[in-house]
Amino acid sequence: MLRTSARYPAGLLPTPADAGARRVTVCALSGGLAGAECPGIPEWVPADAPLEACSWHRDSATVLPELYAEWLAEAGGTTGWTGAISRAHVLPSSRGDVPLRIISPQRGDRYSVPAGTDPRYATIALKAVTREPSARVRWFVDGTPVPSARWQLVSGEHLVRAVADDGSSDEVRVVVE
């Protein structure tokens, strides 16, 4: 405010339109131009700003990009996100050719438990993307079922396997030092 007041005398602040901005409706979630299914909010943008249409809202569902899987899980999960995430941290895959793919942990990941860390807190998230938004995934580490979407780290080399309801699966090897 101090910089603005130094630049413009009181009462002479230009409106966004006077400054060359245009008013558009953007999707409150994606920031893209709002479509019919988007929660739209009015926004002022520079007149020459390139804006892409929102691709997150389609067919009465909110389908978030894979990039947001971890963020959504940590932000409270599924509330309000139809078809976007399941109890097992599963998002619809943007790659239709892959029925199931583990995104956490990733193949070849190496972990270490810091000295003095309570073992209850030395965990990693188990996440996968699927073709079907309603798919459920079962997790196994070295053949043993993991009952939650987090696995407590144990020293050694491990095979992490995800199996979807339709039988599709993926596996990755990780090392815990």
Same domain, 6 and 52: yes
Q: Where are the beta strands (DSSP E) in the chain?
A: 21-27, 40-46, 57-58, 61-62, 90-92, 100-104, 110-111, 123-125, 127-130, 137-141, 144-146, 150-152, 156-164, 169-176
Average confidence score pLDDT of the chain: 80
Q: How far is CA 48 from CA 21, 22, 44, 122, in A?
A: 8, 9, 12, 48
Q: Per-residue pLDDT averaged across 70-83, rounded? A: 51
Same domain, 161 and 83: yes
Query: What local confidence, expressed as pLDDT, does residue 92 receive?
Result: 45
pLDDT at residue 83 is higher than 80: no
pLDDT class for 97, splitting at 50, 70, 90? low
Same domain, 25 and 73: no
pLDDT class for 71, splitting at 50, 70, 90? low
Strands 144-146 and 61-62, bridge-based pairing: unpaired
Strand order in the sheet with 90-92: 90-92, 127-130, 100-104
Same domain, 49 and 76: no
Same domain, 90 and 176: yes
**Nearest alpha carbon to residue 105 among 70, 143, 73, 65:** 70
Same domain, 84 and 43: no
Same domain, 39 and 83: no
CATH number at residue 74: 2.60.40.10
Same domain, 92 and 20: no
pTM as predicted: 0.49
**pLDDT, tens digit (0-9, with 9 covering 90-100), for 24-69:** 999 988 889 999 988 889 999 998 888 899 988 877 777 777 666 5
Same domain, 120 and 149: yes
Element (H, E) at 74: helix 69-74
**pLDDT, tens digit (0-9, with 9 covering 90-100), for 137-162:** 899 999 999 988 889 999 999 999 99
Structural domains counted in the chain: 2
Task: List the domain range (segments joined by +) for residue 10.
Answer: 1-58
The percentage of residues in the chain with a pLDDT greater than 70, rounded to a whole number, is 80
Asked whether 162 and 169 are in contact (CB, 8 A), the reply is: yes
pLDDT class for 90, splitting at 50, 70, 90? very low
